[in-house]
Amino acid sequence: MQQAANGTLKKMISRLEAPVRYALPVGEQELPLNEQLGKTIRLEFSGAIFCTHCGRKTKKSFNQGYCFPCFKRLAQCDSCIMSPEKCHFSQGTCREPAWGEANCMIPHYVYLANSSGLKVGITRTTQVPTRWIDQGASQALPIYEVSTRRFSGLAEDLLRTLMTDRTNWRVMLKGTPEPLDLAQHRDQLQSQFAAQLQSVAEAENNEIRFEADAETVELQYPVLQYPLKVTSLNPEKNPVVSGTLLGIKGQYLILDTGCINIRKFTAYEVSVSME
């Protein structure tokens, strides 16, 4: 085993290929991971956490990598990021109006995905296909393009009366779900909700476009073997995470000893060794 990198973790970088190509950012380095399949990887956590925004050392990570002051101050940590229908930009109370303009007052997709089954989701159009890869989706299809994040949340609210907006990560890590006809589901949703969505668009002074010609994106992941039982590895309980790398899916490393969510431990200081 040789030390490959030392520094703070960031979420894995991904590129849409067949299969998806991954790299693990540690400090200033990006470690290619696909080539490590079938080999031993060791992550030793020091116990130190450095805020992903300001670099301050913090005893606890908030919102996947922020110190408490940044968590309370930054717009990207506000509750409306998780619940965009609660966006309060128009009320003049956005924590950082310039950040809101750049990230929320821009086009978003409302999409369907098949990760642990059929789900609805939203993302900035610039985050496709990264968002789908991060969720471990095996299929994804944009169904609407809308003009703001708030409107995407309101549209998602309507659609999730019929389906979930969540991924069951344990099911997702156990294998590839049965293929779905996402285009058929898209057309059914349009038939049922078109009038309501147009009404919301007019009330919000927003625009909505039905993605009638979009094609389903198929995603494959670099996995040698899926676990029969998903065991979560937590470096806060055991600072050394080590094992044979059997696969990578979503933001998870699948080892023969268990699975670790890399994104959850963003900003944690770690030393990575590879075979």
Q: Is 102 helix (H, G, I), strand (E, B) or coil?
A: helix
CA torsion sign, 58 to 59 to 61 to 62? Answer: negative
Q: pLDDT truncated to tens, each residue of the chain (275 aa)?
A: 787 899 999 999 999 999 999 999 999 999 999 999 999 999 999 999 999 999 999 999 999 999 999 999 999 999 999 999 999 998 999 999 999 999 999 999 999 999 999 999 999 999 999 999 999 999 999 999 999 999 999 999 999 999 999 999 999 999 999 999 999 999 999 999 999 999 999 999 999 999 999 999 999 999 999 999 999 999 999 999 999 999 999 999 999 999 999 999 999 999 999 98
Q: Is 152 helix (H, G, I), strand (E, B) or coil?
A: helix
